[in-house]
Structure 1
């Protein structure tokens, strides 16, 4: 009886094993290969960099002299590098308003488009000096000449 039970159990195992897809590798066997598709790693979305607002370029203010020379309005300080005549217009033929001393400080209100003339404010008048006779840097000894000009004016 023990032998018969053992035979029954073995026969049952053989039936179960063949029904579970157990194969010996013969012609009827099939192998299914499943390829796994990798899941892409999401990349972080870059943050948008704000575009800075453009700084508006100020409009160039222009004026025109009586002789038709265009003056670009801008403030500045110039010094006479030698005695120079301050004229009523941008021309060596224009009337002389006054003269300057070497080193005298001049308050500029503009420059001609071609850079040849500097518009200055002197003695409550607007005048023009030739740019070759003035500089934005004070010449050596300008403090002494400026002090002498102020003393003479008083």
Structure 2
């Protein structure tokens, strides 16, 4: 009995399978194969960040006077704002070390400043001299009315 039931079930399945459109590859059959190709997702390329150029910090050039005052080299134009003595060293106790005296408005070519800012090193036609910083300024003196008459004409 079990065998007959199994045979009936197989016959039913055969009929159902043929009714579902199962084809054996006859002339009416068409097989379409669709291949799915995945679309790649673009990964944005990060923009290159330029590496900043390394700039070396300049080391200030220094020298030392005979009395031991450290001078930092710095080229600046100064003007005498008072009468002052230009000396061979950064000391005021020795009156024999005076090279020259300045007048108000004299232009001085500064080549350095003492570490404490109290002395200015100046160039006097190739000779080093030192003047107290309180007697000089970086601002050019104002033109006086008497000097205006000698000024070059405006064009």
Using structure 2 for the length normalisation, give the TM-score: 0.64
Which SS does the other structure have where 2:100 is aligned?
strand
Provide, for residues 77-96 of structure 1, a one-character-per-residue CA deviation record: whole Å limited to 9, x for no partner: 00001111111111212421
Corresponding position of 1:84: 84
Secondary structure of the 2:71 match is strand
- 2:3 maps to none
Secondary structure of the equivalent of 2:73?
A: strand
Q: Give me the TM-score of the superposition, normalised by structure 1.
A: 0.65
Long gaps (5+) in structure 2:
1-13, 23-37, 151-155
Q: Which residue of 2 aligns with 1:93?
A: 93
The answer for the alignment partner of 1:113 in structure 2 is 115
Alignment CA distance shift 1:141-1:85 (3 Å): farther
CA separation in 1, counterparts of 2:122 and 2:90?
Answer: 11
State the distance in 2 between where 1:17 and 1:91 align.
Answer: 122
CA distance in 1, matches of 2:56, 2:81: 36
**Paired residue for 1:140, among 135, 138, 142?**
142
Per the alignment, residue 129 of structure 1 pairs with: 131
1:60 Cα deviation (Å)?
1.3
How many Å apart are 1:52 and its aligned residue?
2.3
* Count of residues in Structure 1 that have an aligned counterpart in Structure 2: 117
Structure-2 separation of matches of 1:51 and 1:124: 45
Change (3 A) 1:84 1:18: same
- Verify the 8 A CA contact 1:63 1:73 in the aligned structure 2: yes
Q: Secondary structure at the match of 2:108?
A: strand
Q: Which residue of 2 is the match for residue 68 of structure 1?
A: 68
